[in-house]
Amino acid sequence: MSTVSSTATPNRGAATWFSGFRGFLGGEADAWLFVLRVTLSFFITGWLAMRMQLPQPGTAMLTTVIVMHRQSGMVLAKGFYRVLGTLIGAAAALAVVAMFPQQREPFLLVMALWIGACAAGATLHRNFKSYAFVLAGYTAAIIALPVITTHPGNVFDSAVARITEVMLGLVVSAVISDTVLPVRLRDNLRNAVRNQYANFLEFVREALMGQLPRERMEQQHLSMVRDAIALEDLRSSVIFEDPEARARSLHLLQFNQGFMAASTSFQSLHHLINRLMRQDAPVAAQALLVLYRPLGEALQSSPQELPAEELAARIRQVRLELPARGKALRAEINDAGQAEDFEVGTGLLRRFSQELESYIRARGQLLHRVAPSKGVERVRFVRGNDRAGAMLAFVRTTMTMLLLGAFWAVTDWPMGANVMLLATIFSGLFATAPNAARLTGMVLSGYIAGLLAGYACEFMVLTRMDGYALLVASVLPFFIVGPYLTTRPKLAIIGLGYTMGLVNILAITNPMAFDPQHFFNDALSQVVGLGAAAVGFALLPPAAGSRWLRRRQMAALRALVRLAAQAPLPGLRHHFESMSSDLVHQVVAHTVPGSDDSRSLLAWALAVNETGRALIHLRHDVARQPLSTALHGDVDAAVNALAVFFGQPSRQAWQDADRALRRASDAARADTETPEISRQVLYHLRLVRLAMVDDRSVMAPYIVVSDASKEGVINAD
């Protein structure tokens, strides 16, 4: 026995080492392939720009550095939005110079306002849509600032030249990333769809065949939010790379919305059963466990490996049998309150099984064919934005630009335009980043290293070279350091700063000009511009990640109940689901896992989802079949009281909501004019009230137990 152990251990160690070494080599290979694509794009663009006799080949070359990404889809997406930003920025530059061709002070004021507005717009969007706003701001600065004090009439030529240079860099980058050993983003999208589907079905199967603690459900909710956001982010980028993904875009949206709907319904069902199990006589809970067991059995045998059509048919068969099985179980429950609770659970189970079937069928459409878009519900993923954070970005960026503009006007420093330009770029790039001052400082350290490398390259090497081939050989050893550093997560920001510093200071032209005095003035202006951006972030930090913004986002999350209660019904469910997921994701991104803030967020997110979805379904039912006038008034009062409570939680607001829910429930029980719809309304109200009186939920601090409200309150004991 000991002999076997002693010989097995080295083998396992050797195998582990070899596996780790292979992983390292694989990672290094990916990194150097990325460096190869960036380098090819950079130097091919420079050669073409010189052949085309563009005035600033360095601008085209810098474009390739900015847009390059490991995956071709990201390059194409980034390039698309860069084109939009460049065109809009060029139009803004032409307009501002036309208004103030020889008036630098009003020109600087309007330009500062434009750049501030673009920085604010960047905070209201995600991914490369945000980048388009950044580009619109600093493209206007690139075009207008150099000509405003010398030759304002040349602004059109400057705009055409900048657009041409940027477009050249984008085209070359797109071609290289798509042809030279490309890494396809569509593979990531397919993996994301596959993993979301498999993980969700496995989670549902485990939950239906046993009991999950509340903590596990909360963590799973967070995981599902991340999955939904990640899939939407990938979808919005891969459509630029893959025609098939573009054709399936609507179906991907529907698949993701189906995922969010089914997961929310399942959470409501799970929490309802947990609450009922804590009652003195959990008859309804036991009956619900029996009722949903066939659904768990249908998901046995690795459901994610079954054909989607076959699995959907299983779920459909279970759903069709639910009414008869529910009626038989309902007949065995004698207590009226328990019977109502069972009916509430039956309705939730029926809704969940229908949404699960739709989700599985949407997966089948993605696997086998692209179904025609006709007849497919058009949905849209709505983001949750905070306009106060955008206003903060506007104020900070505008003030920074105004101060730098005033400094330029007073000193008349020829390099003042460069200072404003660098401050514009990084004020926009990091407008949405937490710890923006720290990030700008890291970029500055890399930027200074790039400037030093640029000095060595320009005055110690390039002065001895002639011809483009020797220029490439001279710049290459200095250049590849930057792209390689960007492949290291901890050094990526420094690598970005190094590369931009090197490329900006070399300012490759044809022919090259070697002027040490201009070099040092240029380098100093760029450092001052970056430093100004860092100081601006330090004095007025971005809202992202701050406790102030977190409180506002939590308030916005709770306010979704008001949206569910009062917004127009068409598209409301999709609007509610996507906005809820986005807000939760924004807060979680800047919250320490396992902290009190994180737990509070997850608890509120579950409460908002459960209540909001119940109100939306209640309103849909009422819209299909109107209520009696008296009952309609009581239901409206209950819905509005819930919206008030979630908007500003307090014990008094909870009491008002509880009182309104009880009054509406009593009216629904007593209604004889529209008994069928009244019964449906009662079940929705009952579901909401069971959540409101759950003292193991986020409602615990607000629950006030009076003689009138004791009925239905669930104790933790």
With both helix axes pointing from N to C terminus, report the angle between 214-238 and 572-588 in degrees, rounded to the nearest 10. 100
222 burial type by CB count under 10 A (0-12 exposed, 13-18 middle, 19+ buried): middle
What DSSP line would sit under 652-700, residue for residue? HHHHHHHHHHHHHHHHHHH--SSHHHHHHHHHHHHHHHHHHTBTTSTTG
DSSP 340-397: HHHHHHHHHHHHHHHHHHHHHHHHHHHHH----STTSPP--------HHHHHHHHHHH
Answer for the pair 635, 618: CB distance below 8 angstroms, yes or no. yes
| Residue closest to 256 by CA, chosen among 192, 312, 302, 203 | 192
User: What whole-number percentage of the chain has pLDDT above 90?
Assistant: 13
Contact predicate 588/222, CB 8 Å: yes
Instruction: Label residues 661-697 b or e (16+ Cβ within 10 Å = b).
Output: bbbbbebbeebeebeebbebbbbbbbbbbbbbbbbeb
Q: Which residues contact 304 (CB under 8 A, 6 or more apart)?
A: 197, 198, 201, 202
For 390-425, what is each residue's pLDDT tens digit? Answer: 888 888 888 888 888 888 888 888 888 788 888 888
- Is the pTM higher than 0.75? The answer reads no
Q: Please give the Cα distance from 170 to 77 (Å, whole number).
A: 11
Whether residue 72 contacts residue 178, with contact meaning beta carbons closer than 8 Å, is answered with yes
Single-letter residue type at 153: G
pLDDT at 706: 58
Measured in Å, how far apart are the chain's first and last C-alpha atoms? Answer: 52
Determine the 3-state secondary structure of 714 from DSSP. strand
**Interatomic CA distance for residues 666 and 650, integer angstroms:** 24
Cα pseudo-dihedral 632, 638, 644, 646, rounded to 10: -130
pLDDT digits (tens, 9 = 90+) for 169-202: 888 988 888 888 777 777 788 888 888 888 888 8
- pLDDT per residue over 554-588, tens digit each? 888 888 888 888 888 887 887 888 887 777 777 76
List domains and CATH numbers for the chain: 25-184+385-539 (no CATH), 185-240+249-368 (1.20.58.220), 547-702 (no CATH)
Is the link from the previous residue into 303 a cis peptide, with omega within 30 of 0? no
Bridge partners of 694, per DSSP, are 714
Longest CA span, the chain:
98
pLDDT for residue 5 = 39
Residue 438: exposure state from Cβ atoms within 10 A (0-12, 13-18, ≥19)? middle
**Nearest Cα to Cα of residue 202 among 122, 263, 118, 125:** 263
CA distances 441 to 445, 500, 667, Å, are 6, 14, 64
Closest among 207, 361, 371, 389 to 296, alpha carbons compared: 207
Question: Residue 544 is which amino acid?
Answer: A
Beta bridge partners of 714: 694
Query: Cα separation of 192 and 717, whole Å?
Result: 42
* Residue 499 confidence class, pLDDT cut points 50, 70, 90: very high
- What is the reported pLDDT for 209? 67
Exposure of 480 by Cβ count < 10 A (0-12 exposed, 13-18 middle, 19+ buried)? middle
* Residue 255 pLDDT greater than 90, yes or no: no
Structure tokens at 264: 């929310």
| Rounded Cα–Cα distance for residues 452 and 474 (Å) | 15
6/246: higher pLDDT: 246
Q: What percent of the chain has pLDDT over 70?
A: 85
Quote the CA–CA distance of 56 and 64 in Å, as a whole number. 14
Give the C-alpha separation, 481 to 460, whole Å.
Answer: 18
Residue 315: exposure state from Cβ atoms within 10 A (0-12, 13-18, ≥19): buried
Please tell me the least confidently modeled range out of 9-23, 426-440, 459-473, 505-519: 9-23
174-188, 368-382, 655-669: least confidently modelled range = 368-382
Contacts 24+ apart (CB under 8 A), 570-574: 571/379, 571/380, 572/616, 573/261, 573/613, 573/616, 574/257, 574/379, 574/380, 574/381, 574/382
**Top mean-pLDDT range of 75-79, 292-296, 517-521:** 517-521
For residue 17, pLDDT beyond 60: no
Q: Is the pLDDT of residue 377 over 60?
A: no
Tell me the C-alpha distance between 405 and 390, whole Å: 22
Q: What is the mean pLDDT of the chain?
A: 81
Half-sphere exposure at residue 509, Cβ-oriented, CA atoms within 13 angstroms: 9
433 with 439: CB under 8 angstroms?
A: yes
Find out whether 128 and 153 touch, Cβ atoms under 8 Å: no
